[in-house]
Amino acid sequence: MKPRTLFYGLAAGALVLSQVSSFLVNRSLEIGRTVQVFGPIHLTHVRNHGGIFGILQGHGWLFALVSCVILGLVVFWVHRTHFQHVLEYACFGLVVGGGTSNITDRWIYGSVVDFVDVHGIPHWNYIFNTADMLIHLGIWPLLIYGLIASRRRTEDVANNSEVGLP
């Protein structure tokens, strides 16, 4: 499979999965209602009219606009760059699909549909959605991979300097 095919396939899959989950929550759980799934995991239907962690409530249009610009730049960058590892294409696909889903929520519902509610974590009162999970599932491996790759490049440069190589 070509790396860009993986990128678009995961972006589309993330978008569909996130939109189906938003649709099902919107149809089956009243806003404000909580249902325990198991242990500390609950479904609580809330609407986020702001940004990440609910900041700047009422300014969802701003986050939609900024997200569109960022996602457009990511897609452009993926097309212009030849990444070292297929993992990078996969991770960017998850980020683009999740981000597109949150924008789609704003367009369809007027806000982001959040519903994953984890109880029992001290100082944690955030409710999130499938798109947010997929965005994180893409971002964190990219950051870790980037740190490891950067460290290896630094070690390679240091090793080459020690043996007198340019």
In tens, the pLDDT along 2-26 reads 888 999 999 999 999 999 999 999 9
CA–CA distance, 91 with 99 (Å, rounded to integer): 12
SS3 labels along 42-54: EEEEEEECCCHHH
Structural domain of 68: 42-148
The whole-number pLDDT of residue 134 equals 98
Question: Residue 15: what residue type?
Answer: L
Identify whether 161 is part of a domain.
no
Domain total in the chain: 1
- What is the β-pairing status of strands 127-128 and 41-48? unpaired
Do 11 and 100 meet the contact criterion of CB atoms below 8 Å apart?
Answer: yes
Residue 162 has pLDDT above 60, yes or no: no
- The residues assigned a catalytic role are 114, 132
Identify whether 102 is part of a domain.
yes
Identify whether 141 is part of a domain.
yes
Q: Which residues contact 125 (CB under 8 A, 6 or more apart)?
A: none
The whole-number pLDDT of residue 149 equals 77
Q: For the segment 112-130, what is each residue's pLDDT rounded down to a tens digit? A: 999 999 999 998 888 999 9
The whole-number pLDDT of residue 96 equals 97
Position with higher pLDDT, 51 vs 67: 67
Q: Which two tokens stand for residue 164?
A: 């007198």
Identify whether 91 is part of a domain.
yes
Q: Which residues contact 53 (CB under 8 A, 6 or more apart)?
A: 126
Identify whether 25 is part of a domain.
no
Q: For the segment 72-104, what is each residue's pLDDT rounded down to a tens digit? A: 998 998 888 888 788 999 999 999 999 999 999
Identify whether 58 is part of a domain.
yes
Identify whether 35 is part of a domain.
no
Identify whether 116 is part of a domain.
yes
Do 48 and 117 meet the contact criterion of CB atoms below 8 Å apart?
Answer: no
> Kindly report the CA angle at 89 between 111 and 55, in degrees rounded to 5?
25
